[in-house]
Structure 1
Amino acid sequence: MASVTHSVLAASALDHFPATPQGWRSFPAPAKLNLFLHVIGRRADGYHLLQSVFQLVDLKDTIELRLRDDDGIEHHNPLPGVNPEDDLTVRAARLLQPFAPITCGVDIRVTKRIPMGGGMGGGSSDAATVLLALNRLWNVNLSRKSLMELGLKLGADVPFFIFGRNAFVEGVGEIMTAYDTPDCWFAVLHPQVHVSTPAIFKDERLTRDTPSIKMRGLNVAATRNDLQPVAVSQQPRIAESLEWLSQFGPARMTGSGSCVFTICASQSEADRVVSLVPEEMTGFVARSLQKHELSEFAD
């Protein structure tokens, strides 16, 4: 009975994402913001220990998938200059493929909206969406925990998007506790620069000993992004964006950058801020989400 119920749940979840006559199904890959990011230590292997709150937002890439009759995995619109086999969506599909009960393949198309190199998790979210969607389309039916373990092999942020809820995140990004955040709007600026995450973590100026904090009673306003000072020193345009945005409220960088944001009380306020963005800057509005739309694709 359990397996029958499981199959019914899987089918109903897929019903929300119908196939086109050509067989393509479209799935969302939402972005995230780091409401804060503390570096509290460093492991012997060099990986940094972090604490953060990851917030899902409604800015999304679109992942289109079409099942194949063979075991081929093909990316139909790879990014210029990127080997399709190196793309995280292809790597995610190949990582899951051995767990499929029968021979399975997939065609992939990606529509990018999340800024690349912006600290909003676009590539990681794309990979997570492929794992979640193919978990159902291929009838793999791995647990959420197993998918998160697979996702960690692709990147530290991938498990969060499979977790599927806003979270207090610890460790190297793999330890997550569901964390309720208020509904709100964000005004976001993209400074149009690419920040090298490895370069920031290697920088000797990076703070690596911020005291650990507890989730209970957390006051986000009293936190910070430890990576921000280093990113600002490497990319002056981030500093310019932070300075401009701070006139409307406390402004902060997300992840390792380069996007920066401020929280707004309403959509109209966020729209007003973005409408005033200078021509040399790029801004957009994002709304908070409470869960990933594919959260039912893993148990």
Structure 2
Amino acid sequence: MLVFPNAKINIGLNIVEKRSDGFHNIESCFYPVGWTDALEVTDSGELLFESDGIAIPGNNSDNLCLKAYKMLSDDYQLAPVKLHLLKSIPVGAGLGGGSSDAAFTIKALNQYFNLHISFEKQLEYARRLGSDCAFFILNEPAYCFEKGDHFEDIDLSLKGKRIVMVNPGIHISTIEAYAGVVAKPGESDLRNALKLPVSEWKFQVKNDFEATLFRKYPLLEELKTKIYECGAEYASMSGSGSTIFGIFDQEINLRSHFKPFMVWQGFLK
């Protein structure tokens, strides 16, 4: 079985408060995009995890795909499989690639073994693995709150808009990103702001991580400025990572503008 875990962008990200458990409550709009990894599940005499493509930090035993398998196997006594991941979504980039890999592992194993796990139970499993994981079970535009693992429907469609995503290869860990922020309620209601035309988001829809991370990594602010200069209706850093994206009203090819960085571009759905 072959599945393609996709990335997401954050459209707005307010860090609302620090929780008693050490995490933070946020509010954001998560929107799926077409930048994908590839995950293959095949029969195997023993449990194996392999990866190619972009190097994944840490040991294979810590990989979220493997943790997802072991979590389901505790409840369903799964036969061993080989999980092979082709990693294309950059790591530490604010795109949720690792979370997506984990969520798609849950969904793939559910189908592969005909487990008939309910949608709600899949969400529960995903929340155990990480704050962003549950979104990828849903994998539709959503207003996200608490740790980013609870959702409400949002009336937002960017279908037909063009997105350009630029990753300069700077790895920003979640710990590093949160170290410089002060939690506070958003200045405006994000859901109301996203009802405005995309061209007006620039003045209303903010990512709280930008203030400190742009000072530490000036290149990120330079990339955002350049994307606007190329005609973006809206540009922002995604999540707590180093990817800067721009939303355009027309088809555009910016690969030559951002050499030698990783660039993904395509239409939003």
TM-score (norm 2): 0.88
The answer to whether the 8 A contact 1:277-1:283 is kept is no
> Does the residue aligned with 2:25 lie in a helix, a strand or coil?
strand
Deviation of the 1:283 alpha carbon: 2.3
CA deviations 1:70-117 (Å, max 9, x no partner) are 5x32113364663211111111111111222x5422101111111111
Superposed, 1:198-277 pairs within 5 Å as 198-203=175-180, 205-211=181-187, 213=189, 215=191, 218-219=194-195, 221=201, 222-247=204-229, 248-249=231-232, 250-266=234-250, 268-269=251-252, 271=253, 274-277=254-257
**Match among 146, 154, 159 for residue 121 of structure 2:** 146
Moved over 6 A (4+): none
| Identity across matched positions, percent | 25
Could you tell me which runs of 5 or more consecutive residues in structure 1 were left unpaired when the two chains were aligned. 1-24, 290-299
Q: Structure 1 81/56 Cα, relative in aligned 2: closer, same or farther at 3 Å?
A: closer
Larger mean Cα displacement after TM superposition, 280-289 or 186-195: 280-289
Would the aligned equivalents of 2:35 and 2:264 in 1 still touch at CA under 8 Å? no
Write the distance in 1 (CA, Å) between the matches of 2:57 and 2:145. Answer: 34
Does residue 111 in structure 1 map to residue 95 in structure 2? no
SS of aligned partner of 1:76 = strand
Kept after mapping to 1: 8 A contact 2:18/2:183:
no
Change (3 A) 1:212 1:278: closer
* C-alpha separation in 2, matches of 1:162 and 1:281: 30
CA deviation vs aligned residue, 1:25-46 (integer Å, no higher than 9, x gap): 2101011011111112222222
> Are 1:47 and 2:23 an aligned pair?
yes
The 8 Å contact of residues 34 and 268 in structure 2, kept in 1 or not, is answered as yes
**Which residue does 1:73 correspond to in 2?**
47
Q: Deviations over 1:164-183 (max 9, x none)?
A: 21111111112112223221
CA contact (8 A) 2:164 2:263 kept: yes
RMSD: 2.0
2:135 aligned partner: 160
* Count of residues in correspondence between the two structures: 257
Query: Partner of 2:111: helix, strand, or coil?
Result: helix
CA contact (8 A) 2:145 2:151 kept: yes
Shift of 1:277: 1.3
How far does residue 206 in structure 1 lie from its aligned partner after superposition?
A: 3.4
CA–CA separation in structure 2 for the residues paired with 1:283 and 1:182? 20
Distance 2:239 2:193 in 1: 22
Contact 2:162 2:266 in 1 (8 A): yes
> Which residue of the partner structure matches residue 194 of structure 1?
171
- How far did residue 216 of structure 1 move? 5.6
- The answer on 1:283 being equivalent to 2:250 is no
**Contact conserved, 1:30 with 1:61, CA < 8 A, in 2?**
yes
> What's the TM-score, normalizing by structure 1?
0.79
Equivalent position of 2:33 in the other structure: 57
Query: Matches of 1:234 and 1:81 in 2, distance apart?
Result: 22
How far apart, in 2, do the equivalents of 1:81 and 1:282 lie?
18
1:233 is displaced (CA, Å) by 1.9
- CA distance 1:227–1:103, change in 2 (3 Å): closer
> Offset at 1:160?
0.0
Cα deviation per residue 1:217-272 (whole Å; 9 max; x = unaligned)? 74461211011112212222212211221212332100002000110113x22x2x
CA distance in structure 2 between the aligned counterparts of 1:33 and 1:193, rounded to whole angstroms: 17
Within 2, Cα distance between the matches of 1:82 and 1:230?
A: 26
Structure 1 position 131 matched with structure 2 position 106: yes
Corresponding residue SS for 1:277? helix
SS in 2 for 1:153: helix
Say if 2:16 is the partner of 1:32. Answer: no
